[in-house]
Structure 1
Amino acid sequence: MQYIAIGMRLLIGVVFLASAVSKIMGRRAFGDFTTSLGGMRIMPPSLWRPAAILVIASEFAVCGLLAFPGPFTALAGFLLAAGLLAVFTVAVATAVHRGVRAPCRCFGGAASPLGPRQITRNLILVLCAVVGAVTAPMTGPLAPAGTAVAVFGGLVWGGLAVVSDEILDLFHPIDKAPGLARDSR
């Protein structure tokens, strides 16, 4: 079970680190993320900037808690991650239900509009965070090979979660791919 906790630490840590860093990679990235919160039509304009700052700070907090050794910091990180992901899921589902097709700025400047894929990804990540929280308090000796596999698996699955929108876009017909205009011939 400890190997699962290690893998989940890395998976969730990679996802939240990529998400937070992509939103502060420049003034434009932060502005785009802040504007995307407004585009979701779930809060008044006066809350866009404070919400953006709170989201980014919380994402970095998850990373910090998961990076520190110890089962209780990991437990806190997983619980914070699960809570944030649940809030993100509800916000995206609310926006989608209202017909909002704004681009997802979860990991920077993706062209994919909000939709079921982000809801599904977030629900899977909530499940991963909960599994991490359940397994985090378990202790005992670790084998180097098992640890290496858990680290590798967590990094790979975390990376795949980060680029999941781009991977799924590869399977859309070219005329329906997000960000491409249809030929009007």
Structure 2
Amino acid sequence: MPAHRHGSVDVHYLAIGVRCLIGTVFVVSFIGKFTARGALADLVGSLRELRLLPENRVRTAARLLTTAEGGIAALLIAPSSTLAGLGLGAAALLLTVFAAGIGIAVRRGAHAVCACFGPSQVPLGRRHVVRNALLAAVAVTGIAASASTSPVSPGPAVVAAVSGLLTGVLITRLDDLFDLLFPSAGPTGR
């Protein structure tokens, strides 16, 4: 069966890379909220500061959000392309909700911290909206690429997977990198 190609890139390898990238982001987010002391409390505080939910729904929303992130990570790790497609769809939806919610809150002047990957002192800002919107677009691209049924070669598959993993790790550390490279710009990203 001929490989499905878009330009010179086999889309199946693109799907592998996207699954690894988005999967890494969600795994790090899920683990960061469960392994760091006080991480869930920080998430509750951040959601409270966003002022998007009624006070009596914030703690439940934090638990549901963390559970959804873990579920998405599990779907993306699953060997089934159907489950991975569901995971990418759920990731795209959740990331779009994150981008919209953070955008609304930042425009209103909320001063919540980014509890995206565990405890943090970095205030949410425009760069977090952009990050989540771009990740949502990448997830949608992964859904389209996941439709490919072409056979894969181990070498390119490993390259795609490692590229996705490294990019995912880089994305989870963007706030640290931004502050390292642009310390005079301040931590807000606004």
Residue 35 of structure 2: SS of its match in structure 1? coil
- 173 and 140 in structure 1: CA distance in 2 versus 1, 3 angstrom threshold: closer
Matched-pair contact (CA < 8 Å) for 1:71–1:138? no
Aligned-pair CA distance for 1:171: 2.7
Normalising by structure 2, report the TM-score. Answer: 0.89
Q: Does 1:92 align with 2:102?
A: yes
**Among 28, 31, 41, the residue aligned to 2:38:** 28
2:135 is matched with: 125
Q: Does 1:170 align with 2:171?
A: no
**Among 40, 55, 71, the residue aligned to 2:81:** 71
**Runs of 4+ more than 2 Å apart:** 171-174, 176-179
**Aligned letter for 2:108?**
R
Q: CA RMSD in A?
A: 1.4
Q: Does 1:144 align with 2:154?
A: yes
**Among 171, 178, 189, the residue aligned to 1:161:** 171
Cα separation, 2, equivalents of 1:79 and 1:24 = 24
Q: How many residues are treated as equivalent by the alignment?
A: 178
1:47 is matched with: 57
Gaps of 5+ in 1: 180-185
1:18 is matched with: 28
Matched-pair contact (CA < 8 Å) for 2:23–2:73? yes
Aligned-pair CA distance for 1:178: 3.5
Matched-pair contact (CA < 8 Å) for 2:36–2:118? no
**Percent of counterpart pairs with the same letter?**
38
Residue 24 of structure 1: SS of its match in structure 2? helix
> After alignment, is 106-115 or 148-157 more displaced?
106-115
**Aligned letter for 1:67?**
I
Aligned-pair CA distance for 1:177: 3.6
Q: Does 1:82 align with 2:115?
A: no
Aligned-pair CA distance for 1:102: 1.8
Normalising by structure 1, report the TM-score. Answer: 0.91
Aligned-pair CA distance for 1:140: 2.0
Cα separation, 2, equivalents of 1:51 and 1:37 = 8
Aligned-pair CA distance for 1:145: 1.2
1:182 is matched with: none
**Aligned letter for 1:81?**
A
Gaps of 5+ in 2: 1-10
Cα separation, 1, equivalents of 2:181 and 2:160 = 29
